[in-house]
Amino acid sequence: MAVKKNETGTAQIEINGTKYDLPIYKPSIGPEVVDISKLYAQANVFTYDPGFTSTANCSSTITYVDGENGILLYRGYKIDELVENTDFLEVSYLLLNGELPNKKEKEEFDNAVTYHSMLHEQMTRFYQGFRRDAHPMAITCGVIGALSAFYHDSTDISDAHQRMVATRRLIAKMPTIAAMAYKYTLGQPFVYPRNDLDYASNFMHMCFSVPPEEYKVNEILSSALDKVFILHADHEQNASTSTVRLAGSSGANPFACIAAGVASLWGPAHGGANEAALNMLDEIQTPDNITKFIKKAKDSSDPFRLMGFGHRVYKSYDPRAKIMQKTCHEVLDALGLKDDPLLKVAMELEKIALEDPYFVEKKLYPNVDFYSGIILRALGFPKDMFTVLFALARTVGWISQWNEMIEDSEQRIGRPRQLYMGNASKEFIKIEDR
Ligand code: SDX
């Protein structure tokens, strides 16, 4: 159903001497929007906005990001309150359904996810097709897409029940798929999910347990991982979510759409930044080298960017980075690693960058990816698994946004236009005459 819009007036635009009135809609919070959807039909002009810096591509009730004030809300709840008082599956229920579950609803949802966590046994053969040194994101992207080859009974997007089954299967199977990708690169046997473990503990068990010995989950570490999942669960219309929406607008099945989201997230400017940020900290190595890297980051002729800094929307501190920093200290203290040299470099880098006029003027603050890599490394994950964990957590955000789009009567196939600057006409010359 289309969200009822609250028209509060019109914006007038004059084009070639003709005036056009465009409706303005008022949101529940945040910037108003000017509806330009009829402009091309009325004035035969397109609007131009590479990277969609000023464009709302949908109306949504799921997540709100206040970039100026560093606020993140999931269905109206502040991210820090959710991290402190819920777990990832409770947040998943909230993102999917719009309300926090009561005890009975939570138990039913937890069971549904727990009892969908196994993968069709034949899917394990896909992994054998990859080289052992394949990047786990390449494996994850391939296997997620392949789900549509196995779960035909939940690919009809017009059937609400099938959408619900596909939704639960994706949330339930993502940890199993991700853990198998990790085990495969190690050359270790796959570990099946266990129904007696919570979501984050089950994932750690599937990643770190080995047949010769009993794996004991460290509650402090699995609780920290659960918080990391909550912080990554959704973030309104970012690049990968917009990719999922655009793929879904053509009617593609949910597994194909989520595979498209995984592919988009992989880029170092987006979800790949956590792996890139840790690589950068590894390269800096000691606080003495920080100045050299800050200089490179400020040099416009140098493509180097300070990974884990800056954000398209947050022009103040990313609220997730603040919570991530706190969780980072908890994890390192629990592991007796509070003198971790990389943490020292990260904190010194943050201090210097936040005082440097270049970063202050451009409002470049640490983002969600700056501290997450240090936590994930301390939890035992290799760098090339960091973006896989981001994708694991973001799956619930993607599928929530996908469901919202499918149910929105206003949505149709996405089809942006362009400012064409190519040749207006060329005379064809046969190859023998060229
Ligand atoms: C995520 O959108 C989301 O919500 C994403 C995400 C989510 O949850 O889905 O929050 C997750 O992707 C977080 C961002 C992770 N990426 C990184 O940490 C990579 C490093 N950051 C940059 O690549 C950059 O900040 C972006 C891509 C995040 C944002 O880019 P924008 O909004 O297009 O900004 P820009 O590239 O136009 O930069 C504005 C200026 C430029 O200088 P000028 O051309 O104006 O002189 O700031 C500079 C940039 O050179 N700049 C940086 C910088 N980021 C921007 N300079 C040095 N280091 C950086 N990190």
Number of residues that make up the chain: 434
**Residue 22 contacts residue 35 (beta carbons within 8 Å):** yes
How many Å lie between the centroid of ligand 1 and the Cα of residue 229? 22
- The pTM for the full model equals 0.95
Q: Which of 60, 14, 87, 32 is nearest to 233 (CA)?
A: 87
Per-residue exposure over 99-121, b if at least 16 CB sit within 10 Å of its own CB, e if not: ebbeeeebeebbebbbebbebee
How many Å lie between the centroid of ligand 1 and the Cα of residue 399? 25
Cα 181 to Cα 42, 335, 364: the distances in Å are 52, 26, 34
Catalytic residues: 311, 369
- Which secondary structure element, helix H or strand E, spans residue 112, and what is its range? helix 103-114
Closest atom, ligand 1, to C-alpha of 312? 32
Name residue 234's amino acid. D
Closest atom, ligand 1, to C-alpha of 308? 18
Ligand 1: residues with CB < 6 A are 235, 238, 269-271, 273, 297, 300, 305-313, 362, 364, 367-369
pLDDT tens for the chain, residues 1 to 434: 556 788 889 999 999 999 999 999 999 999 999 999 999 999 999 999 999 999 999 999 999 999 999 999 999 999 999 999 999 999 999 999 999 999 999 999 999 999 999 999 999 999 999 999 999 999 999 999 999 999 988 899 999 999 999 999 999 999 999 999 999 999 999 999 999 999 999 999 999 999 999 999 999 999 999 999 999 999 999 999 999 999 999 999 999 999 999 999 999 999 999 999 999 999 999 999 999 999 999 999 999 999 999 999 999 889 999 999 999 999 999 999 888 888 899 989 999 988 999 999 999 999 999 989 999 999 999 999 999 999 999 999 999 999 999 999 988 999 999 999 999 999 999 999 99
**Residue 175 contacts residue 200 (beta carbons within 8 Å):** no
- Could you tell me the two tokens for 113? 């996810």
